Amino acid sequence: LLCKGDEFIKAGLYARVSTEIQVEGYSIDAQKEYLLNYAKAKEYTEYEYYVDGGYSGKDLNRPAIQKLISDCKSGKIDCVFVLKLDRISRSQKDTLYLIEEVFNKYNVGF
């Protein structure tokens, strides 16, 4: 088990689809299954799903990504897993913001 002091390390499992992506094989259920299997393979026992179904990755105006950002800043999760980088954002600027200003700044693995 992965621990930080007396606490278990909690992973944030982020999945997103826009309607056209679902047709290409990246359904929410498929992403969740892959992310859960990956987290278990890495011996994470604590995790939370963050799912934005039907949202474009063009910006960060999505409810689950906003909750993920908030939970990173408040220390509720310690790492974030995504199936592919474009699932978290299709904007390089937003991806860099997430990595530099959220994940790195708040010691959240990605």
Q: Which residues are catalytic?
A: 18
How many whole angstroms separate alpha carbon 109 and alpha carbon 64?
A: 18
Distance between alpha carbon 91 and the CA centroid of its chain, in Å?
15
CB 45 within 8 A of CB 1: yes
30 CB burial (10 A radius; 0-12, 13-18, 19+): middle
Q: In what order do the strands lie in the sheet with 79-82?
A: 46-53, 10-17, 79-82
